[in-house]
């Protein structure tokens, strides 16, 4: 696995914890220089960078809000200026504010759409410029099986994740001729800090809905992202890869 992304620079948003952190670790293990972006405290970002470096990878941390265009532009400019380019973007930053429609506030709708969908648009727009110049790039958007199948109580989250699929396919058509592939990964039920405190009944129901009979790990998602960022995936674009143990089939 080592060396497959040697010389590449990767920016992973929302990478201080969970799936994003596992993705950053994976890309670093494949040889990429990884930029860990998050809106978390500087200490959390530094801890993710330290973990990557302890495993032999190369990383730097950048705190920025992906919903603010000026911060995104400044982040990408700094990455290109300090590391010499930007080859890979993984749009992983996201939040959830679940509520049934009749109780779903406009504020919670806007917050989820802004972070999960607008943030990906702003980052892709900024990252596309150096990728077009280099005539090589990989953009991977982290969607969700909820964006494919929907889920009660998650109208805002599902709409944002479905929007990411539309964004993925549109950008694949726009950027393909410039040597840039754009794909989406749609995780199912993944064990992270966000899901760790769910009741046992909810976990059992999730396992029952998953044909492989287990819940996913962040590393399962990271492996798929690593493949889509590699040269082996150069003829794959505009696709949505469900990493869900078959949940979307049920």
Active site residues: 157
Q: Are 186 and 158 in contact (CB under 8 A)?
A: no
How many angstroms separate the Cα of 173 from the Cα of each of 170, 192, 231?
5, 33, 19
Q: Are 248 and 151 in contact (CB under 8 A)?
A: no
How many angstroms separate the Cα of 167 from the Cα of each of 13, 118, 135, 141, 223?
17, 10, 20, 9, 22
């Amino acid at each position: 696995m080592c060396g497959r992304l040697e010389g590449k620079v990767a920016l992973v948003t929302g990478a201080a914890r969970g799936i994003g952190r596992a993705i950053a670790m994976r890309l670093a293990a494949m040889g990429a220089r990884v930029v860990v972006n998050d809106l978390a405290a500087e200490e959390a970002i530094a801890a993710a960078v330290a973990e990557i470096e302890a495993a032999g990878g190369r990383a730097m941390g950048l705190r920025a809000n992906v919903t603010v265009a000026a911060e995104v532009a400044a982040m990408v400019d700094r990455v290109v200026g300090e590391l010499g380019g930007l080859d890979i973007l993984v749009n992983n930053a996201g939040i959830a504010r679940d509520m049934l429609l009749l109780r779903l506030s406009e504020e919670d709708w806007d917050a989820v759409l802004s972070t999960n969908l607008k943030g990906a648009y702003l980052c892709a727009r900024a990252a596309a410029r150096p990728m077009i110049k280099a005539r090589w790039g990989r953009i991977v958007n982290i969607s969700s099986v909820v964006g494919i199948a929907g889920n009660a109580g998650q109208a805002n989250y599902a709409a944002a994740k479905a929007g990411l699929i539309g964004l993925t396919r549109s950008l694949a058509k726009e950027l393909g001729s410039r040597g840039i592939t754009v794909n989406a990964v749609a995780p199912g039920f993944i064990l992270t800090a966000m899901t760790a405190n769910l009741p046992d009944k909810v976990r059992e129901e999730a396992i029952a809905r998953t044909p492989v009979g287990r819940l996913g790990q962040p590393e399962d998602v990271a492996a798929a992202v690593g493949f889509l960022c590699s040269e082996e995936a150069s003829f794959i674009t505009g696709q949505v890869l469900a990493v869900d143990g078959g949940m979307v089939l049920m």
